[in-house]
Amino acid sequence: MATEFHNLQELRQSPSLATKVFIQRDYSEGTVCRFQIKFPSELGSRIERTLFEDTVKTLNTYYAEAEKVGGQSYMEGCLACATAYFIFFCMETRYEKVLKKISGYIQEQNEKIYAPRGLLLTDPVERGMRVIEVSVFEDRGSSGSSPSSNVSSGISQR
Amino acid sequence: MKHCEYQQIDPQALSTPTPTLPPQHAVVQEEKKGETARRKWEVFPGKNRFYCDGRIIVAQQSGVLPLTLGLILVTTVLFFVFDCPFLLKHLTVFIPAIGGVLFVFVVISLLQTSFTDPGILPRATPDEAADIEKQIDNSGSSTYRPPPRTKEVMINQQVVKLKYCFTCKMFRPPRTSHCSLCDNCVERFDHHCPWVGNCVGKRNYRFFYTFIVSLSFLTVFIFGCVATHLALRAQGGRGLMFALQESPASAVELVICFFSVWSILGLSGFHTYLVASNLTTNEDIKGSWSGKSGTEDTGNPYSYNNIITNCCSVLCGPMPPSLIDRRGFMPVEESSQTVATEIELAAKNEINVCQLVLCLSVFVCMAHHHPPLGGQLSGLCSVLCWLMSKCTQGTKDLLESASRSPCPQTGKPQTVSTSCPDSIDPADPAVTFNPDVTSDPDPVAVPSLKCGGRHHSHTTSPPDEPRQLHHHHHNRHHKTRSARSSSKRAALHISNPAYNVSLSPPTSPGLGPSHGTGAEEHVRDNFATLH
């Protein structure tokens, strides 16, 4: 994953972070969890549009499955109510099961597609389901001695 | 921005610590870094309290939850002890059985409502906040920051405005609102209920609904059974007074049930209406979708236009997990953020910062109103400002340094209370420091905050919504009001934990409900701006 770096950066454990791109939520269908499929311009050179859009579409499908109000969720809800909600201590809810599937999928995508391109997807659940955070790492041969500190000092000066 | 002040202090980011801080601050930070990994609840920026290592979450003030629990327990216990034996003998065994089941439902759903995360949204990370700021600056004018930031989205062909939350530094998702009492954005925010001592939001609305419905049934059931009991006893011409004399506890139960059944039934009916139309209390009170604003076609975009579907989606929908991950461990690379949050944590958990500042501001007030103190006012102010700047570094450090600081006037190492020994009347109630009393900090003294802590409350987090809810919807909560007024009377007897060298965790910390506008954080903002 680490490409060629300056000498200073080679001493660091992790490759240096250039920027972070945030994919925001798409609220056109209400409060269900859905992310915008719009391809961000900052990623234009790093990854193909179709690959990225497929990832986001698959994630949206997973979240729609988790939040689907249907037969299984009714059963779960009624059973929970009947047991005075003790069932939540014993059983994993369907939502949690789907979230586990999602984190497995994101990990797989990171390993196969994003990491070779110097990108890293962060699971939205770690960001409060607000954004899909795509960390863009420094590409081979790009200049800039310490862009991560520039980013953080830029933030801290606000 | 407030947090960034503390990020600059991080030894990892800077080679030298800021010179305004004493060396012991850096030492404290080093010690904190050396500790074992902290769980995320320990550095949670909101005003919630956590128990059982993060498993249980409650609001900062328990409100009248003990009263709620107490009333329910007392009434039910009296019912089982005094009425059930008679009814069991004369009627049927199902009466205590049904009563028992209802009681279990009520208590469990109440505890779940109180101890469950209502759907708190974690605050935006600094990178996210910067990204949003960049987008706003790009779209708007760059010369000045326009006041309230909104973003419009289309939801089901209807325009909905999303507001920017200055505290959490993000655009709030639809139906999300910021609770000023808990200082969190809560998804599908309904209201902050003092009776359960927690916000009611997406994750615990079903528990809350179960609670009020089962409580209505329980109240009506007990009322009916007690009335039947008294009627049976009064049979044979013996009269009601005779029955009451034989079973006085029934009178207590009758009174409690009679006065509570109306409000509880009303609340259940109201929330049934809300569930059936997929509305929240917040939206209903503000009239978001009722067309009060005059625009046409402002139907509720979230409603399925079918009562059964609405009910099922609200009550039987999938249970989303908690987003704040209370029991996860803090990752190592976020140590620069935890430094800031650790500082806040130390100030929050060990001592109520505002209580200390209130005490000190009372001093300043006293100095203002007592001309002989005028000469020592500057000394008091300097001590006050210095102490306020120290508040955020951890209260233990604060106390130790306060006890060691030389008095500006007398030149002797003294505690703050004796810095003006000649002028303050020790009998004055404003300066009666009773370490044992942990009364609610008074809403009256909050306006007396001298370093302008209050005026920030309107620029950072909009506190109007939950406050409106509290006053409009829960206008029957006269008990909370009387509790607040009694806290005003007791306000002058402010506990000054500064003198409580052996610190204990605050038992009932927190500001009065109407002033829980995140004043703690805003006061801390001011501390930071003093540098």
Distance from CA of A29 to the nearest CA of B (A): 6
* Confidence (pLDDT) at B212: 94
- Using the Cβ of B405 and the Cβ atoms of chain A, whether some distance falls under 8 Å is answered with no
| Interchain pair B206, A77: CB under 8 A | yes
Cβ separation B133–A129 shorter than 8 A = no
> Is B390 in contact with B477 (CB distance < 8 Å)?
no
Average pLDDT over residues B404-409: 48
Find, among B118, B288, B124, B91, the residue nearest to B199 by Cα: B118
β-strand B191-193 against B198-200: which pairing, if any? antiparallel
Confidence of residue B153 (pLDDT cuts 50, 70, 90): confident
Whether the predicted pLDDT of B36 surpasses 70: no
Is residue B524 classed as helix, strand or coil in its secondary structure? helix
Residues of chain B in contact with residue A74, where contact means CB-CB under 8 angstroms, are 312, 316
- Angstroms from A50 CA to nearest CA on chain B: 24
| Neighbour count for residue A80 (Cβ, 10 Å) | 21
Q: Which residue of A has its CA nearest to B6?
A: A156
Question: How much is the average pLDDT of B438-455?
Answer: 40
**Confidence at residue A41, expressed as pLDDT on a 0 to 100 scale:** 84
Shortest distance between the Cα of A148 and any Cα of chain B, in A, equals 11
Say whether A130 and B128 touch across the interface (CB within 8 A): yes
List, as own/partner pairs, every contact residues A80-89 make where C-beta atoms lie below 8 angstroms and the sequence separation is at least 24, other chains included.
Answer: A80/B319, A81/B206, A81/B210, A81/B315, A81/B316, A84/B104, A84/B105, A84/B108, A84/B109, A85/B108, A85/B109, A85/B112, A85/B207, A85/B210, A86/B108, A88/B319
DSSP H helices in B316-437: 335-350, 353-369, 374-391, 395-404
Which of B10, B12, B115, B125 is the best residue to mutate to test the A interface, defined by the most A CB atoms within 10 Å of its own CB? Answer: B125
pTM, two decimals, is 0.64
Decide if pLDDT at A8 tops 50. no
A contacts of B334 (beta carbons < 8 Å): none
Judged by a CB distance cut-off of 8 A, whether residue A73 touches chain B is yes
Catalytic residues of B: 193
Q: How confident is the model at residue B367 (pLDDT cuts 50, 70, 90)?
A: low
CA–CA distance, B275 with B271 (Å, rounded to integer) = 6
DSSP assignment of A43-112 equals: GTTTS-HHHHHHHHHHHHHHHHHHT--SHHHHHHHHHHHHTTTTHHHHS--HHHHHHHHHHHHHHHHIII
B128 and A133 in contact by Cβ < 8 A? yes
- Least confident window among A20-29, A108-117, B20-29: B20-29
Helix, strand or coil, per DSSP, at residue A22 = strand
Q: Which of A23-27, B86-90, B132-136, B287-291 has the lowest mean pLDDT?
A: B287-291
Mean pLDDT of B389-399: 52
Contact yes or no for A156 and B105 at CB 8 A:
no
Of B109, B121, B128, the CB nearest to A84: B109
Closest CB to A30 among B125, B155, B324 = B155
Interface test with B, best of A41, A135, A152 (most B CBs within 10 A): A152
Say which of B122, B153, B315 has its CB closest to residue A77: B315
What is residue B372's predicted lDDT score, i.e. its pLDDT? 52
Q: Which residues of A touch B2 (CB under 8 A)?
A: none
Average pLDDT score over residue span B124-148: 71
The answer to which of B99-113, B199-213, B512-526 has the lowest mean pLDDT is B512-526
- The predicted structure's pLDDT at residue B502: 42
| Residue B153 to residue A28, Cβ atoms within 8 A | yes
Does residue A20 sit at the B interface (CB-CB below 8 Å)?
A: yes
Q: What is the pLDDT of residues A50-100, one digit of tens each?
A: 989 999 999 999 999 888 888 888 888 888 888 877 888 888 888 889 999
Buried b (16+ CB within 10 A) or exposed e, B445-454: bbeebbbebb
